[in-house]
Amino acid sequence: MLTDTQCRNAKTVDKPLKLNDGKGLYLEVRPNGSKLWRYRYKINGKENLFAVGDYCQQPAGETEEESKARRDGRRFTLSEARGERERCRGLVKQGVHPSHSQRTEKLRRSIEAGNTFQAVADAWIKDHGKEWSDGYRRQIVQRLGSDAYPHIGALPIKDITPAHVKDVLKRVERRGSPASAKLLRTWIGGAFRYAAGELLVETDPTWPLRNTIRAPKTQHIRHLGAKEIPAFLEALELVQAEPTTKIAAKLLWLTVVRTVELRCAEWVEFDLDAAMWNLPASRMKMREAHAVPLPEQAVTLLRALHVLTGNGRYVFPGRKDREQPLTHEAIRDVFNRAGYAGKFTPHGVRSTFSTYFNEANVDHELIELTLAHAERNKVRGAYNHAKKMGPRRQLLQQWADLSDAWRQGAEVLPFQRSAA
């Protein structure tokens, strides 16, 4: 048997030198200084030679990860070469050529490298995305991209365990978004079920985690009373936030559209000269186009914003990826920074508007049309949509003017129905 000293000091000048270690393993030393492990074996009476790899000494301080990478690169110490010999002997006993096994293993690793979680999830989105709305698909892409891919995206999908997924979900839950964590589990599970159909995995690691995240019980949307509005508007004016996101929060208040409708707004939808925002049916909850007459204050904000984002597609581009719209947490974060965490959310703006004007005895149908609530009779709905455009413009302008007065601390008299 060889010793490491013999391997280390072996030299030859004229022709290759073979140093036998036994059981078919030997070290071939060449004149150019190369030292190569070779394994000689027989299958069906025919002699074969397998190139095990290069001889090397283990570097000082080598980590386990570095050691694995070295061995994957076919560079072995004496003891490691003996381990390879025993592995090869086991294959030979089964009638398998070590070289054939090596090619199969290389192919397997190549396939696994291409089947990372991110690659499979992207394929799932591509194959099934046509069945989803544009907004839903964007939401999945954004959430996987920001919350899942940084942590498990590069891992072979077959190696991902429930513990990996749980870590991802808990990160989202800890930042105060349990509902988002539950959705993320659903979407990660969707990618795994797709992988199972492609025979890439056998199990879905999200299944044991179905009760891991407990979303808070659904509550009625909190709205602000008339006496609470001035303090909120003052806090919103003073909050420290990115200019684009702060303007988004202000426009949400002035236009009383749904948060997703504002976040995904595109510049092509706006006619600022006509003070009109035309939302396509594809982006509306009720799948019906909706025109929003813009109050003067909203037009002023949009013209200022156009200087910042007007060269892109989205009015409110994402912070990290400007080819994607602002995330749903961004506007909520502005409200939280203003001191309203757990007290008032972006979803409460519409109910605040509705409550205020309903208590002022404004035409209920006018309020519902302004909020783009569904009209069961589509013919009547389309007729009213056009007929009440003038009153709707007046109502939103009144809301904006009232907001200016509230912000400035003026004493606002009860709203008179005739004003609308």
Length of the chain: 420
Q: Which phi-psi region, left, alpha or beta, contains residue 256 (left: φ > 0; alpha: ψ -120 to 50)?
A: left
The yes-or-no answer on residue 285 being catalytic is: yes
Catalytic residue of the set 285, 322, 364, 378: 285
Q: Has 392 been annotated as catalytic? A: no
Give every CB contact of residue 279 below 8 A, 6+ residues apart in sequence: 257, 261, 265, 269, 289, 290, 291, 292
Of the residues 97, 347, 385, 407, only one is catalytic, namely: 347
| Catalytic choice (75, 373, 385, 388) | 373
- 258 included as an active-site residue: yes
- Choosing from 185, 263, 350, 392, the catalytic residue is 350
Q: Cα separations (Å) of 289 from 126, 150, 197, 254? A: 27, 37, 38, 19
What is 59-109 written as a DSSP string?
A: PTT--HHHHHHHHHTTEE-HHHHHHHHHHHHHHHHTT--HHHHHHHHHHHH
Question: Is 328 a catalytic site residue?
Answer: no
Q: Is 380 helix (H, G, I), strand (E, B) or coil?
A: helix
Report the alpha-carbon distance of residue 251 to residue 196 in Å, rounded: 45
Tokens of 222: 């909190």
Catalytic residue among 18, 42, 383, 417: 383
What pairs with residue 325 in β-bridges?
Answer: 317
Give the active site residues.
Answer: 258, 285, 347, 350, 373, 383
